[in-house]
């Protein structure tokens, strides 16, 4: 039908405008830059890391403070922390991207369907969402990780399954406000099917809020993975997953502070980056600053 | 009206049962043998089998679930597989501890987060705005157990400003009767000021930590609500009328932002209730989070179910309230 | 409204602040406060209890017929018993109790109560009952085998002519605690799980799960009363927390310190450290169901892939001593022979001999707690150098145990603590496997690793019946020599328990078993 082409142009124009607003926000650019830096570091980790992240000597290189050879010191197995951080950035990116890729679409689908169709579909989906929301998140992730077995993939799955409910709620809220809009009625009058309206119009409009929320949640996701490590599940040793490194480092916090400080600062910087990025996105996509 | 109420109750019931079903299923899927937790590693295979029979674990899953739901309907949450204590009495002991902690946390988070959020909105884009964001982000992205350990090492061990792990100094163990389970309240009721001091000093650090954690979200939400209000037409009109900026911000804008803000605070509160596990572990706080986690690791499913039910019920209740508030407020969603 | 609310909060702050600054931390006089992880407690009924914290408490709440000397555990003396005789055929034991014994309730403690307690434990047949039933007692025959012969005398008959030290040590374990029969009769079933009914210097005042245990002094104790009036165990999970509380003075003793915290506290002049070698040994075991691990060269290769000394000075420093035998030091017949050390080349040669020059892949079930996890990671590295690729499967303690007991593991890293102070306690589980089939009634550690050892089983059974002490010790040394060579167990270290106490605490002494840390001799200046 004729509707597609002008719509496409309009979207492109809007995206261009959004980018201009975004680019004017210096902090958002910093955030974007940091995220890109993370991606680059993750990619180049094998060449950047000065030592093997899984090798260490108990007798000679254990728990060394930061120095010229080991910029961030060594951990309780004698492994270089900087190298582990670099290699671990791959895992962090993996976790974060995978959870986003799994949780966001589920949340989007459930939320928009609930908001769009209303009635018993809404009730059923929202009850389902409530069930997962009401469940203590860490407990659910813990239980799932325990049931699925060790390994970072299962931990990611567990975190993803507990992460989608808030996205569903956001998507639903957005859908409810979009649904009544005039132009939706117009498209419907023109004969567009429910599916087209849902996929072609409602979802794309609900997407920005969702993206913003997902980026803001990144820190929480990484920390949930760390929490799992703290409670005994998650990445398998000797994997240099940042959360597991912090969990392991907590026993040394009082005397060998660098063991937990390294991954702690890394997580903070990445969270900051995603947070700045998310804020910038939100400000660009909806300058009035609404949720 | 009646129909709507009945519908509400029905959906509530459905959610609760769904919650129980999910928990039950998870419990059976977790690869720990609860009989092993009860009988221990020295038990023979025969003794384990006897325990399993005793605990009713050999009956089919749906039978076990059915019996459980029936019991819950009568207010009986069963007995802990591990200790044999009634789960209701266990939870009556641990829930107030978490409640107290989360309450102190949210008070701290809101009391500091809301003003900060307003400030950030008013100073949007400037240094203050970024500082508030940064401060919130540290609370949100630093691992809570790390912050907790560091805070204890500094404020407790080195400076002695606050109390350490636990809810109250061990010397006050029997001087205060546990009437409500909320230590501060019980100390007040008993009129024991020394005990109150001790309890307060033990609450400060974990409460502040939890509060710091929620502060990020609350301050950012406040900021975004305030920005929305401050760009509304009535603000322009008020400014034109010559009202002072402070009056506009505090008496008008914040007031309008108050209700959605309240739902944000309520949701944060629910989040603190369920997210206190790590804090409770670090501070040896005998609360619900620690209770559920320990029970889960021993596959003590009655305890896990009971605890999850309580947390879930509170969460659903708060959700419901905020949903109602939202609907009442925003006519577009009706 | 918002303005006033804010003002209210701000004005409340100065009032709250002084309340927040605590008085100088100090534990109450004549109360001993210990920081310890006590969340393993399930029941305080001596007939049911089998975990560590419960054992320590039962050791302080109840008394038994005999006890061993803490300075020389091979010497047994009477606690409730005044004297005893062993019959000529070695199967009869006659005990005479002391006079004037009383329970904390005031009820007299006579032979009737002793008989009742032992019979009760056997009849209930809970987990720890095996310590008594292995003497040949069962619900069917215990009435004849454990008999009262007079107001203060009783007679026990056992299945075979066991070594007397074995029988007496079994009678010194917590399951043989003497409980107050009359006090129990008035109570509902299960009452003893959460209450005490013993004759020892302490009574249970309070137990809040994963929070606190409070013992009060038994004011009606028939002997010398403790100087301390109350003993509190406060649940603190993290070692660093225990350390901070100890330094601050909020607790008098810290019991679960990690190597780093021990080192840090050793330098503190206000803190005293006491240690004891515990009857617990740590090992890595190889499931013989795995085709690679079943090869004898592979079994030996693993023993050359652990750097015992390096572990001793780093990961287990202060909390363990490298030990390569299944009998912990201090038990009769214990051996200090340590033929193995890290030798990757030798391990590789052995693997080549086994037809695995390229190494192989295998998994290890590891509990996510320290120091076990650290040791597993270190072993993973050392084994990696020989070509063995170990994949670590972390899990919670009970999860990994469930898998272990189901024989589903490849490698397992675990520990075993002595249940009573006789060498049979460990020989029984490491060197004895009467039935290796899947449905076996007995499931010792050897069984869990599918190690079929009919010959060793016979030797272990024979050593139990050897009544000459010197010959018996030699028997166990021979057993251990064979074990070192052939077994699928890599014995790593023996646990050392450390307690850190503030300078004013005196008389605190740790025992080699979990039930021999007595609080009665402790005092505070």
Model pTM? 0.88
Residue C258 near residue C496, CB atoms below 8 Å: no
Please, which pLDDT band fits residue B31 given cuts at 50, 70 and 90? confident
Where residue B19 falls among pLDDT bands split at 50, 70, 90? Answer: confident
Residues in B 302-331 with any Cβ partner in C closer than 8 A: none
Domain that holds residue A148: 34-46+72-289
B282: closest CA among C102, C142, C236?
C236
Nearest to C391 among A58, A77, A236 (CB): A236
Residues A190-241 pLDDT 10s: 887 878 877 887 888 778 778 878 887 877 787 777 777 666 666 788 889 8
Pairwise CB contact (< 8 Å): A146 & C395: yes
Chains A and C form CB pairs within 8 A to the count of 74
Region of residue C276 (left: phi > 0; alpha: psi -120 to 50; beta: else): beta
User: What is the model's pLDDT at position C198?
Assistant: 95
* 8 Å CB contact between A247 and A94: no
Residues of C within 8 A of A64 (CB-CB) are none
Angle between helices B301-329 and A119-134 in degrees, nearest 10: 130
A147 touching chain C per CB within 8 A: no
Out of C264, C310, C396, the one facing A58 most closely (by C-beta) is: C310
Q: How far is the alpha carbon of B329 from chain A, nearest alpha carbon, in Å?
A: 13
Give DSSP secondary structure letters for B83-132: T--BHHHHHHHHHHHHHHHHHHHHHHHHHHHHHHHHHHHHTTTSHHHHHH
DSSP for residue A254: T
| Count of domains observed in chain A | 1
pLDDT exceeds cutoff 60 at C289: yes
- Mutant choice from B28, B34, B42, B229 vs C, greatest count of C C-beta within 10 A: B42
Class of domain B87-333: mainly alpha
A223 chain-B contacts, CB cut-off 8 A? 141, 143-144
In a domain, A28, yes or no: no
Residue C466 has pLDDT above 50, yes or no: yes
Cβ within 8 Å, pair A237-C261: no
Nearest CA-CA partner of C208 in C233, C228, C230, C243: C233
pLDDT at residue A291, rounded to an integer: 37
DSSP C201: S
Quick check: B19 contacting A, CB < 8 Å? yes
**pLDDT of the residue at C17:** 47
How far, in Å, CA of A105 to CA of B286, rounded?
38
Apex CA B44: angle with CA C136 and CA C434, to 5°?
65
Is A10 within a domain?
no
Interface size, chain B vs chain C, as Cβ–Cβ contacts under 8 Å: 161
| Residue C5 in this model has a pLDDT that exceeds 60 | no
pLDDT above 90 for A153: no
Please indicate, yes or no, if residue A271 is contained in any of the structural domains.
yes
CB contact (8 A) between residue C394 and residue A232 = yes
Q: Are strands C360-367 and C411-417 parallel, antiparallel or unpaired?
A: parallel
User: How far is A117 from A132, CA to CA, in rounded Å?
Assistant: 21
- Whether the pLDDT of residue C24 is over 90: the answer is no
CATH 1.10.3720.10 domain span(s) along chain B: 87-333
Q: What is the pLDDT of residues B243-278, one digit of tens each?
A: 888 888 887 788 777 777 887 888 788 888 877 878
Report the pLDDT value the prediction gives residue B148, as an integer from 0 to 100. 85
Residues of A in contact with C341 (CB under 8 A): none
Query: Which of B104-108, B233-237, B318-322, C237-241 has the weakest average pLDDT?
Result: B318-322
Nearest to B266, CA basis, from B87, B43, B102: B102
Q: Chain C residues within 8 A (CB-CB) of chain A?
A: 238-240, 243-244, 258, 260-261, 264, 307, 310-311, 313-315, 366-370, 373-374, 376-378, 380-381, 391-396, 399
Residues of chain B with Cβ-Cβ distance to A123 below 8 Å are: 11
- Phi, psi (rounded to 5 degrees) for C33: -110, 125
- Cα B185 off chain centre by: 19
Instruction: Work out the burial of residue C106: count CB atoms within 10 Å of its CB; fewer than 13 is exposed, 13-18 middle, 19 or more buried.
Output: exposed
Q: Write out residues 96-155 of B within 8 Å (CB-CB) of A.
A: 121, 130, 133-134, 137-138, 140-146, 149-150, 153
Helices (H), C315-436: 344-353, 372-385, 397-405, 424-430
Q: Is B36 helix (H, G, I), strand (E, B) or coil?
A: helix
> Is residue A11 assigned to a domain?
no
C263 → chain A, closest CA residue: A255
Angstrom distance (rounded) from CA A193 to CA A30? 43
Interchain proximity B299–C441, CB inside 8 Å: no
The predicted pLDDT at position A176 comes to 81
Q: What's the confidence (pLDDT) of residue C15?
A: 46
Domains along the sequence of chain C with CATH: 63-184 (3.90.76.10), 277-497 (3.10.105.10)
Query: Helix or strand or coil: residue C125?
Result: coil
Q: What is the CA radius of gyration of chain C?
A: 25
Tell me the average pLDDT across A74-79.
93
Q: Which of C318, C391, C394 to mutate to test the interface with A (most CBs of A within 10 A)?
A: C394
Q: Does B31 touch chain A (CB under 8 A)?
A: yes
Residue C237 has its nearest CB partner, among B153, B258, B284, at: B284
Q: Among all chains, which residue has been given the structure tokens 């320590």?
A: C56
Which parts of chain A fold into alpha helices (H)?
A: 4-24, 26-48, 81-117, 119-134, 137-148, 152-179, 182-189, 194-196, 203-230, 242-249, 258-285
Q: Do B83 and C209 touch (CB under 8 A)?
A: yes
Q: Is residue A115 part of a domain?
A: yes
Check which CATH number belongs to the domain holding A90 and give it. 1.10.3720.10
């Amino acid at each position: 039908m004729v509707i597609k082409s002008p719509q496409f142009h309009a979207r492109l124009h809007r995206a261009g405008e959004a980018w201009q607003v975004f680019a004017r926000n210096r902090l958002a650019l910093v955030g974007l830059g940091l995220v890109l830096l993370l991606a680059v570091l993750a990619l180049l980790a094998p060449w950047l890391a000065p030592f093997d992240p899984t090798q260490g000597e108990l007798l000679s290189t254990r728990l060394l403070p930061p120095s010229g050879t080991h910029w961030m010191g060594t951990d309780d197995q004698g492994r270089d922390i900087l190298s582990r951080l670099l290699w671990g950035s791959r895992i962090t990116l993996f976790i974060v991207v995978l959870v986003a890729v799994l949780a966001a679409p589920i949340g989007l689908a459930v939320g928009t369907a609930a908001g769009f169709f209303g009635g018993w579909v809404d009730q059923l989906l929202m009850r389902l969402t409530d069930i997962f929301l009401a469940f203590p998140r860490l407990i659910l992730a813990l239980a799932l990780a325990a049931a699925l077995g060790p390994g970072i993939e299962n931990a990611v799955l567990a975190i993803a399954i507990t992460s989608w409910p808030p996205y569903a709620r956001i998507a639903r809220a957005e859908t409810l406000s979009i649904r009544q809009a005039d132009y939706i009625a117009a498209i419907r009058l023109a004969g567009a099917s429910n599916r087209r309206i849902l996929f072609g119009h409602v979802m794309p409009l609900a997407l920005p809020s969702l993206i913003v929320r997902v980026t803001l949640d990144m820190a929480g996701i990484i920390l949930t993975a760390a929490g799992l490590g703290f409670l005994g599940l998650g990445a398998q040793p000797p994997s240099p997953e940042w959360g597991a490194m912090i969990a392991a480092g907590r026993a040394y916090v009082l005397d060998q502070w660098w063991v937990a400080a390294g991954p702690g600062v890394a997580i903070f910087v990445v969270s900051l980056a995603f947070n700045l990025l998310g804020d910038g996105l939100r400000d660009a996509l909806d300058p009035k600053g609404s949720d | 009206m009646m129909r709507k109420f009945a519908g509400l109750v029905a959906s509530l019931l459905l959610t609760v049962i769904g919650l129980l079903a999910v928990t039950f299923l998870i419990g059976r899927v977790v690869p720990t043998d609860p009989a092993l937790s009860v009988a221990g590693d020295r038990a023979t295979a025969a003794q384990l089998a006897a325990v399993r029979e005793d605990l009713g674990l050999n009956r089919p899953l749906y039978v076990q679930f059915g019996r459980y739901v029936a019991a819950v309907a009568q207010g009986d949450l069963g007995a802990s597989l591990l200790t044999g204590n009634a789960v209701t009495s266990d939870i009556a002991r641990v829930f107030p501890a978490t409640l107290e902690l989360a309450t102190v946390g949210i008070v701290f988070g809101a009391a500091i987060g809301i003003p900060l959020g307003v400030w950030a909105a008013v100073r949007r884009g400037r240094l203050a705005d970024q500082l508030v964001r940064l401060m919130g982000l540290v609370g949100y992205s630093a691992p809570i157990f790390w912050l907790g350990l560091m805070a204890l090492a500094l404020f407790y061990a080195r400076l002695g400003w606050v109390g350490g792990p636990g809810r109250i100094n061990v010397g006050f163990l029997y001087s205060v009767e546990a009437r409500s389970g909320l230590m501060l309240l019980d100390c007040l009721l008993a009129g024991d000021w020394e005990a109150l001091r001790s309890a307060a000093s033990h609450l400060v650090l974990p409460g502040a930590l939890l509060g710091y954690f929620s502060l990020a979200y609350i301050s950012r939400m406040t900021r975004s609500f305030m920005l929305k209000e401050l760009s509304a037409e009535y603000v322009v009109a008020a400014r034109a009328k010559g009202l002072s900026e402070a009056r506009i911000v505090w008496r008008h804008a914040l007031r309008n932002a108050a209700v959605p803000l309240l739902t944000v605070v309520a949701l944060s509160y629910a989040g603190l209730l369920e997210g206190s596990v790590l804090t409770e572990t670090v501070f040896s706080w005998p609360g619900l989070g620690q209770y559920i986690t320990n029970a889960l690791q021993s596959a003590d499913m009655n305890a896990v179910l009971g605890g999850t039910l309580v947390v879930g019920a509170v969460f659903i209740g708060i959700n419901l309230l905020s949903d109602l508030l939202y609907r009442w407020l925003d006519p577009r969603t009706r | 409204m918002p303005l006033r609310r804010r003002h209210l909060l701000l004005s409340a702050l100065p009032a709250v602040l002084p309340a927040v600054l605590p008085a100088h931390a100090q534990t109450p006089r004549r109360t001993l406060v210990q920081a310890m992880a006590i969340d393993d407690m399930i029941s305080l009924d001596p007939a049911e209890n089998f975990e560590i914290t419960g054992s320590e408490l039962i050791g302080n709440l109840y008394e038994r017929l005999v006890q061993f000397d803490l300075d020389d555990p091979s010497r047994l003396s009477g606690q409730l018993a005044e004297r005893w005789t062993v019959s000529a055929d070695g199967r009869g034991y006659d005990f005479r109790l002391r006079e004037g014994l009383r329970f904390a309730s005031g009820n007299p403690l006579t032979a009737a109560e002793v008989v009742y307690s032992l019979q009760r434990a056997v009849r209930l047949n809970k987990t720890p009952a095996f310590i008594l039933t292995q003497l040949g007692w069962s619900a069917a025959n215990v009435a004849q085998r454990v008999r009262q012969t007079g107001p203060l005398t009783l007679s026990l008959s056992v299945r075979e002519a066991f070594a007397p030290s074995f029988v007496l040590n079994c009678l010194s374990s917590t399951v043989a605690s003497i409980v107050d029969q009359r006090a129990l009769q008035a109570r509902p079933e299960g009452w003893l799980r959460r209450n005490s009914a013993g004759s020892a210097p302490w009574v249970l005042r309070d137990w809040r799960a994963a929070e606190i245990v409070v013992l009060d002094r038994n004011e009606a104790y028939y002997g010398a009363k403790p100087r301390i009036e109350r003993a509190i165990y406060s649940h603190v999970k993290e070692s660093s927390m225990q350390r901070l509380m100890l330094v601050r003075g909020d607790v008098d003793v810290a019991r679960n310190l990690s190597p780093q915290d021990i080192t840090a506290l050793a330098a503190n002049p206000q803190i005293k450290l006491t240690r004891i070698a515990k009857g617990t040994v740590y090992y890595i075991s190889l499931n013989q169901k795995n085709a690679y691990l079943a090869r004898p060269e592979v079994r030996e290769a693993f023993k050359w892939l652990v750097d015992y000394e390096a572990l001793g000075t780093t990961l287990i420093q202060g909390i363990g001593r490298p030990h390569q035998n299944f009998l912990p030091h201090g038990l009769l017949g214990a051996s200090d022979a340590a033929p193995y050390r890290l030798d990757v080349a030798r391990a590789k040669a052995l693997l080549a001999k086994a037809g695995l020059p390229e190494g192989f892949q295998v998994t290890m079930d590891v509990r996510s707690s320290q120091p076990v996890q650290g040791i597993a990671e270190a072993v993973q590295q050392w084994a990696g150098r020989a070509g063995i690729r170990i994949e670590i499967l972390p899990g919670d303690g009970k999860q990994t145990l469930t898998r272990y007991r189901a024989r589903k593991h490849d490698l397992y890293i675990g520990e075993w603590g002595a249940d009573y102070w006789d060498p049979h306690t460990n020989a029984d589980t490491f060197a004895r496997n009467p039935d290796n089939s899947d449905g076996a009634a007995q499931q010792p550690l050897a069984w869990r690793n599918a190690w079929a050892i009919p010959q060793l089983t016979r030797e272990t059974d024979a050593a139990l019946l050897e009544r000459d002490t010197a010959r018996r010790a030699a028997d166990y040394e021979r057993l251990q020599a064979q074990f070192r060579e052939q077994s699928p167990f890599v014995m790593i270290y023996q646990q050392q328990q450390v307690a850190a106490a503030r300078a004013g605490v005196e008389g605190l002494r740790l025992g080699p078993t979990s039930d021999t840390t007595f609080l009665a001799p402790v005092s505070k200046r």
